[in-house]
Chain A
């Protein structure tokens, strides 16, 4: 079975400060990892993904994430937060083989960037 944990329901950060949204995963085999963002009254928007290769992945809106195999983590980061980054963030994982073709999502982390 595959699973994703987002240990923080809520993250608050001041505008201009760096932000981190945490994600850990559990899978059998090599994972594909994704981050999505959901703004109020909108569907999920894809931010970035890790498939293979460089552990540091860069995505939309200045976000990046680092794949750490030993810690089974894929934390989302941004060097300088904007108020407009305030939204609900979801980490997701899937394995590329076997019957587990579903994308498993975490429960989400609400990011609030304070002006």
Chain B
């Protein structure tokens, strides 16, 4: 295990539902990330948090709303999603954002299906 946990592992939701994904890291890192992984496509970085502050938002639609209450926890709040949002959502952490030589540690992901 990498020290990054994600819940739930699987989620099926309708387009009118509201749900949240949770990520927790036990590595003492200060940076956390949300990625979207769709079939046959490169990983898409969605959000970056450094010391609880959002430092990157890669033009993600507002139906995705991140929250980082502390350096160990990261949430992704979902509402009025579209079927094309179905994907594997990966959380990752690293010691710091600014130090590019650090590798990132990934959680197992949440498989999201929007019906």
Contact = CB atoms under 8 A, between A and B. Distances in A.
A49 B104 CA distance: 11
Contact of A107 (B40, B45, B97): B40
Interface residues of A, number: 24
Nearest to A4: B42
Contacts, number: 55
Contacts of B40: 107
Chain B interface secondary structure, helix, strand, loop or mixed? Answer: loop
Interface of A: 4, 32, 34, 36, 41-46, 49, 51, 90, 94-96, 101-108
Nearest to A6: B42
Interface residues of B, number: 25
B100 A32 contact: yes
Contact of A43 (B4, B41, B56, B98): B4
B62 to A, nearest CB: 21
B66 interface: no
Contacts of B43: 44, 90, 105
